[in-house]
A and B are shown apart, each in its own frame.
Chain A
Amino acid sequence: MIIPVRCISCGKPVGHLWEEYKERTEDGEDSGEVLDDLGLDRYCCRSLFLTHTDLIHRAAKFKK
């Protein structure tokens, strides 16, 4: 839906890193390296980013 503000497992604030991550992986950078760069070294935070899909635009269409 929308990236969580904090990591669901450990509580580290991660929301502000999502847009940079998305931009850089779409430009063809390796997602593992981007995650290292962003300082996300626990696997809870990493899986949150690797498995996230932004769907809020779709949901927004159904609400007027």
Chain B
Amino acid sequence: MELEKIDEEDGKLRFVVKDSSPAMMNAIRRISMNQIPVLAIEDVGIIENSSALFDEIVAQRLGQIPLVFDPKKFDAREECDCEEGCVNCEAKFTLQKEGPGKVYSGDIVSESDDVEILYDGIPITELDENQEIELEATAIVSIGEDHSKHQAAISSYQYYPIIDVDQEELTDDEKEECVEVCPRNVFEVDDGKLKIVDEKRCTLCKECVQETDFDGITVTSDEEKFIFKIESVSSLNPEDILEKTAEILDGKAEKVIGKLG
């Protein structure tokens, strides 16, 4: 298996994988979405909530807020040596605000120095005059399989496209049609020839094949080569997620081998 990075922007990583199989790709996809430990608010103690949203809804919204944390410093609550929760398995927060006005995720105060709120502008609730909210919250580390608020990334993969163009077979009109009909702008006409600008953009929709009545252009897929996308939906960056995924997959494989004796 060989990886080659295509690009990375706004927490979205794309790379090409050579010599692999859909089974392997799916294992990476599922582990990167389901099995990576991520910190999120789990327990909320409401002291006062006179806002329009019910306590449960406020707690559910708090849980979904992405938190910045150091994955090396946190253990899962069940695996921690302590019994009642300590700094190694829990992070505490407080929130106190009086109306009128909106309550944002930026109003939450973290009690530990190395845990922060990733986005300050997430609206939690809205307070009218004489309404107030006061609460304490505890965040724990868990995995996406347990609850989707702990999901680290959104991952997907597709076969690598193979686009064959027969220049002789296509008329000039058909070439122009191909450029126009392609929703991902894969083609361009240059010097009377239909050229492929970037085959990695192709999503194998085959609009171009249909447009030319199925001759002159063929779109097939390389079944051992993939384009893989990882988009982070937590504070972890996609490369770290991929590294952690490999580590977890390795651990799981070791476990199976161990059981086989």
- Interface residues, chain A, CB within 8 Å of chain B? 2-6, 10-13, 15-16, 18-19, 39, 56-57, 59-64
- Most chain B beta-carbon contacts within 10 A, residue among A5, A39, A61: A5
Question: Nearest-CB distance from B98 to chain A (Å)?
Answer: 14
Q: Could you say which of B51, B118, B151 contacts A11, with CB atoms under 8 Å apart? A: B151
Q: How far is the CA of A61 from the CA of B121 in the complex (A)?
A: 24
Q: Could you say which of B10, B52, B66 contacts A39, with CB atoms under 8 Å apart? A: B10
Contacts of B131 in A (CB 8 A): 60, 63
Find out whether the CB atom of B50 lies under 8 angstroms from the CB atom of A63. Answer: yes
Q: How far is the CA of A3 from the CA of B122 in the complex (A)?
A: 9
Question: Nearest-CB distance from A43 to chain B (Å)?
Answer: 13
Q: How far is the CA of A19 from the CA of B104 in the complex (A)?
A: 12
Q: How far is the CA of A41 from the CA of B131 in the complex (A)?
A: 37
Find out whether the CB atom of B151 lies under 8 angstroms from the CB atom of A19. Answer: no
Find out whether the CB atom of B53 lies under 8 angstroms from the CB atom of A13. Answer: no
Instruction: Tell me the count of chain B residues lying within 8 A, CB to CB, of chain A.
Output: 28
Contacts of A2 in B (CB 8 A): 53, 123, 125-126
Question: Nearest-CB distance from B111 to chain A (Å)?
Answer: 21
Contacts of B66 in A (CB 8 A): 13
Find out whether the CB atom of B233 lies under 8 angstroms from the CB atom of A11. Answer: yes
A13 and B122 contact, Cβ closer than 8 Å, known pairs A5-B61, A39-B10, A56-B53: yes
Which 3 residue pairs of A and B lie closest in terms of their CB atoms, listed nearest first? A16-B121, A15-B122, A5-B64
CB within 8 Å of A: which of B92-108? Answer: 105
Q: How far is the CA of A56 from the CA of B127 in the complex (A)?
A: 9
Q: Beta-carbon contacts of B205-239 to A below 8 Å, as 1s and 0s?
A: 00000000000000000000000000101000000
Find out whether the CB atom of A12 lies under 8 angstroms from the CB atom of B231. Answer: yes
A60 and B128 contact, Cβ closer than 8 Å, known pairs A5-B122, A13-B122: yes
Q: Could you say which of A4, A12, A59 contacts B233, with CB atoms under 8 Å apart? A: A12
Find out whether the CB atom of A61 lies under 8 angstroms from the CB atom of B154. Answer: no
> Is the CB of B81 closer than 8 A to any CB of chain A?
no
Find out whether the CB atom of A15 lies under 8 angstroms from the CB atom of B52. Answer: no
CB within 8 Å of A: which of B138-160? Answer: 148-149, 151, 154
* 11 CB-based A-B contacts, threshold 8 Å: A2-B53, A5-B65, A12-B231, A13-B65, A13-B233, A15-B123, A16-B121, A18-B123, A39-B10, A61-B128, A63-B52
Q: How far is the CA of A16 from the CA of B120 in the complex (A)?
A: 7
Question: Nearest-CB distance from A64 to chain B (Å)?
Answer: 8
Q: Could you say which of B51, B123, B128, B148 contacts A3, with CB atoms under 8 Å apart? A: B123
Find out whether the CB atom of A6 lies under 8 angstroms from the CB atom of B64. Answer: yes
Contacts of B105 in A (CB 8 A): 15-16
- Most chain B beta-carbon contacts within 10 A, residue among A16, A62, A63: A16
Find out whether the CB atom of A13 lies under 8 angstroms from the CB atom of B119. Answer: yes
Question: Nearest-CB distance from B158 to chain A (Å)?
Answer: 15
Contacts of B121 in A (CB 8 A): 15-16, 19
Q: How far is the CA of A10 from the CA of B144 in the complex (A)?
A: 12
Contacts of A19 in B (CB 8 A): 121, 123
